[in-house]
């Protein structure tokens, strides 16, 4: 059930469709979870300023039941920042990613929870 939300001040027209596909594949591999459970939400056209500037920037959020921790997050940071930079040309120093380790009882799916 991992979710990755990427908010950016870039316009929709500058975001290639392949980015969501590649994010899904990378997250599936890195988290060790099937693609059918990965959700990626890219939110363009946001009013975002980073370090007092409206230059291209982004805010990311990765949530997962487990698989979140110090060592893992460093690895996720590397691959996610690299992909965002590759496709959106947003410098890694103009983006944050926040990691959330979710309790299975607090995540609903298919008329139930994961607990």
Of the residues 2, 16, 34, 92, which is catalytic? 2
List own/partner pairs for 73-82 with CB under 8 A and 24 or more apart: 73/99, 75/30, 76/27, 76/30, 76/31, 79/26, 79/30, 80/4, 80/23, 80/26
The H-or-E segment that residue 10 falls in is none
Q: CA–CA separation, 109 vs 79, rounded Å?
A: 27
Q: Respond yes or no: is residue 2 known to be catalytic.
A: yes
The H-or-E segment that residue 96 falls in is strand 95-101
Question: Which residues form the catalytic set?
Answer: 2
């Amino acid at each position: 059930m991992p979710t990755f939300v990427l908010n950016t001040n870039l316009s929709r027209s500058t975001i290639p469709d392949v980015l969501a596909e590649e994010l899904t594949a990378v997250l599936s591999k890195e988290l060790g979870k099937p693609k059918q459970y990965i959700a990626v939400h890219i939110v363009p056209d946001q009013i975002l300023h980073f370090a007092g500037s409206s230059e291209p920037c982004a805010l990311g959020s990765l949530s997962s039941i487990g698989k979140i921790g110090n060592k893992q997050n460093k690895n996720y940071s590397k691959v996610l920042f690299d992909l965002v930079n590759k496709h959106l040309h947003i410098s890694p120093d103009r983006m944050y990613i926040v990691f959330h380790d979710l309790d299975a009882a607090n995540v609903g799916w298919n008329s139930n929870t994961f607990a």
